[in-house]
Structures are given as C-alpha cells and as structure tokens.
Amino acid sequence: MRKITISVPGKLILMGEHAVVYGKPCIVVAVSQRMQVAVEKIDETVFRLNAIDLDFENYQKPLTEIGIGEIPKEAKFAEIALLNFTSKYKIQSGVEITTRSDFSAQIGFGSSAAVAVGVIKSAAELFGLPLSQKEIFNLAYKTVLDVQGKGSGFDVAAAIYGGTLYFQTGGSIIEPLQTNGLNLVIGYSGVKADTVTMMNQVLGKMKNFKSGIDEIFNNIEKLVSEAKIAILDKDWQRVGTLMNYNQNYLEDLGVSTDKLNIMIEAAIKAGAYGAKLSGAGGGDCMIALVAPNKKLQVSYAIAEAGGQIININVNAPGVKVENL
C-alpha cells in the first residue's frame, strides 16, 4: 500500500524563551538534524505506532479508542495529533506510523513538536488533503496544548517553516529572517530538562512576584527586537552581546544551571561573540555565537567545560515530503 515518508527539522531557540509563552516574540532556528515520519494505510481498523528511537514498537489501539484512556508518554504526541487530524477531516482508516530521528529526544531539539507536525503533514499527504502551512500549524499547536497544557508553538513553527523565524506566541507573527552567516556552536549539558516543569517553575515565580517577572519579560522583548535588527544587519558582535544580556535575564528567572553557566562562560572566554542557554533551561543545550575562525577553539572550550558538542547546520528547510 502507499506509504508517505516526510522529514521534519529539529530546532534551537536563539533568544526569547519563556517570555514567548506570555505574548512576547522570540527568534528560533531550524537545524539540520531531522525526524522522519512514515505513514501508511492498513486494513485493520487500528492506529499502530513504531517509535524506533524510543524502543517503542507495535503500540496499537482501535481507531474508536484513539485519545481515550491512559496513553504511554512515547505515544502521546503522535496519538493526539492523529486524533486531531482524523476528527477535523472526518477520516476513518487504519494507519501505521513509524518515527525515526537523527537526534535524541533527550537534548531539547523539539522532538514532541516534530512528531505532531510529522503526523499531521504525512497524514494530510496520505489522504490527499492540501493543507496550508498555517492549517498544519494550527492543528499541531492544538496538539501541543492538548498534551502539555501550555507552550508558545515556536517549535511547531520551526518544524513547519524551517529557516530562522521571528515568532510571536501562538503564531500571531511568523516572519522568516535572512540569517546567512549565522554560526553557532552547540553544547549539550548532559542533563535532560523537562520543558513543562521549567514553565511551571516560572509560572510559580509569576504568582509570587508578577511585576518583577513582567519586567524581565518586557526587557527580553526589547532584546529580541534589537537582535532581529542586528541579525538582519549581520552585526554578529551585537547579536552576541544581546544574547549575553538575555542569558542574564534567564539566570534572574532561575532557569539556568551551574553546568550551563560554566559552559557559557568557557565559550565567551574562548572568544564567542555571545552565549546562552537555549530552550526551557534546567539542562539541555547552550549555544554560542561565533566567527567562523573561532568555531574550533570555542568548541574545545565547551567540551573542556564538560559539554558535548553537537554538530548541526542552521537554517534547515521545514517539513518536506521525502517520497511520492
């Protein structure tokens, strides 16, 4: 039977995390490590899932029970994405979905959003529905909110549109930015962070000290707006400085860790324009903005500080069909 395979890029947030959950903009870049999602129709009236990298295979449920009962965490995003898709477009057909990824779900490259986008886009292709990017965004973002209750949708946008985006909460702005010459070094801290836990931590602080946190978010918003201009001007020195300020605010929010701070400091000492954590914090990755001739020495310094260097290219294309 016909099988559709698509691929979806991972992402890194350059600036604006956390503030973007509360109506502010961020800048996000799609990366070259991708997730593959294959989908095919099957005769049985079931949904079957194989998440190869998670050692989670042959998970199966009757179509009538999708989204009902306890869903294992490995299946949540795929199952709810399929439920949202089949309910909206009145599809009743058995399907088997297989996911594989170039990147581990541990490092914060956006595997949950990539699965949601992958399932919706591949199912749309399989059933011959020419969905627009915004229609895919709306359904995949709904999936993220259904599963985790909160989130800005920046990762969903990166997975769909690719490149570099100036993005505002819920996709109210999704603006591609030209960022040729953006050179990043990525260091993984070795600690898996839980995005929802970190968002809840910030929410807790907001409840105790709303005006203080609001002020931090307003300041981050200014940094992101300035960074957008500096990026378009290719003024990397300035972008780096703005990233450093953004990191200071993330430390004020309490989401950085000692390990991330050590890696960030090492990168700056080794000559990076700027460095900061990327994502929710609490672990995952840090990023350093570098001139091409500083890439090696900054990489060594981050590795020396205990980080694991992850080699990626930025500005990867968004979701695309791999076979037809």
Give the Cβ contact number of residue 80 at 10 Å: 22
Do residues 296 and 270 lie in contact, with contact meaning Cβ atoms separated by under 8 Å?
no
Instruction: Give Dmax over CA atoms of the chain in angstroms.
Output: 60
Min separation Cβ 134 and ligand PMV, Å: 18
Closer CB to ligand PMV, residue 18 or residue 228? 18
Residue (47 or 154) nearer to ligand PMV, CB: 154
Closer residue to ligand PMV in complex, CB, 297/308: 308
State the burial class of residue 317 (Cβ atoms within 10 Å of its Cβ: 0-12, 13-18, 19+). middle
Instruction: State how far the Cα of 5 lies from the Cα of 99, in Å rounded to an integer.
Output: 10
Query: Using CB atoms, what's the residue nearest to ligand PMV?
Result: 279
Q: How far is the CB of 186 from ligand PMV (least distance, A)?
A: 12
Smallest separation, CB 150 to ligand PMV (Å): 7
* Minimum distance of ligand PMV from residue 107's CB (angstroms): 9
Q: Which of 150, 112, 193 is nearest to 22 (CA)?
A: 150
Which position among 53, 55, 146, 155 bears the catalytic label?
155
- In whole angstroms, how close is the CB of 57 to ligand PMV at the nearest point? 25
Q: Report the amino acid identity of residue 178.
A: Q
Applying CB under 6 A, which residues contact ligand PMV? 13, 17-18, 20-21, 108, 110, 151-152, 154-155, 195, 199, 279-280, 284
Q: How far apart are CA 292 and CA 213, in angstroms?
A: 36
- Residue 125 vs 155, nearer CB to ligand PMV: 155
Minimum CB distance to ligand PMV smaller for 114 or for 124? 114
Task: Check if 284 is active-site.
Answer: no
In whole angstroms, give the CA distance from residue 49 to residue 131.
23
Least distance from C-beta 207 to ligand PMV, angstroms?
17
The residue among 4 and 31 lying less far from ligand PMV, judged by its C-beta, is 31
Catalytic residues: 155
